[in-house]
Amino acid sequence: SGLSGDKHDVVVHTSINKAIPTMPDVGIDAQELKDIGFRLLLSGHYHNHKEVLPGVVSIGALTHQNWGDVGSLAGFMIVNPDGTFTHQETSAPKFVNLEDDVDDSLIRGNYVRFRAIVESDEEGIKIQNVLKTMGAKGVVCNFIRKASMMEGTASTAETSKIDSLGESVAAYCKIVHDTDGGFDLSKLDMLCQEILTEAESAEAV
């Protein structure tokens, strides 16, 4: 065709490794895509917007779609004739996770998943109503009663097994994912620990 790759852009539909830090490498390495030679390679698949390498961009979704999009950057791109580009977020609702503290700017107009330790069911209901009053578009609450955490605090063989499981999960994540420094291991470890905490608490509201 006689096209010079470095003066043209291409849009594809494929997954780029490292576009989402918590995803394993099941797609195509960004360097392989860069080596094709186009000025910009813009890929649609993962919901998170990210320039993985200069000129290799995960476009991302226009809006948040579900709880799996918490923390992802959604919106649209404006690509200029000279190859520069900007990313613009929209005013569409986002899915957000909050814990203990409430932030009005994150609550209003968004879908909120709130996690806290409460004294009673009544306290949990009060918090849920406050979130709705603050303008949350939707509310999902994950409450753990303080009493359930205080019971059986003495170390037993069973709690030792739970502690050991938490350490094992953290170690496994580190071995599998901590390879090049570009993976946010702390977020994955935090998510795993949250799941373990929920499993340990038999009295979640």
In order of 51, 90, 129, 196, the CA distances from 193 in angstroms are 29, 32, 27, 5
* Ramachandran area for residue 55 (φ above 0: left; ψ -120 to 50: alpha; else beta): left
| pLDDT, tens only, 53-87 | 999 999 999 999 998 899 899 999 999 999 999 99
Regions of the chain short of the pLDDT cut 70: 1-6, 148-168, 170-183, 196-205
Q: Strand ranges (DSSP E) for 80-180?
A: 85-88, 95-99, 111-118, 138-145
- How far apart CA 115 and CA 112 sit, in angstroms, is 10
Q: What is the pLDDT of residue 65?
A: 92
Contact 117, 148 (CB under 8 A): no
Please state the pTM of the whole predicted model.
0.64
- How far apart CA 132 and CA 127 sit, in angstroms, is 9
Question: What is the Cα 124 distance to its own chain's centre?
Answer: 25
| pLDDT, tens only, 178-190 | 555 556 777 777 7
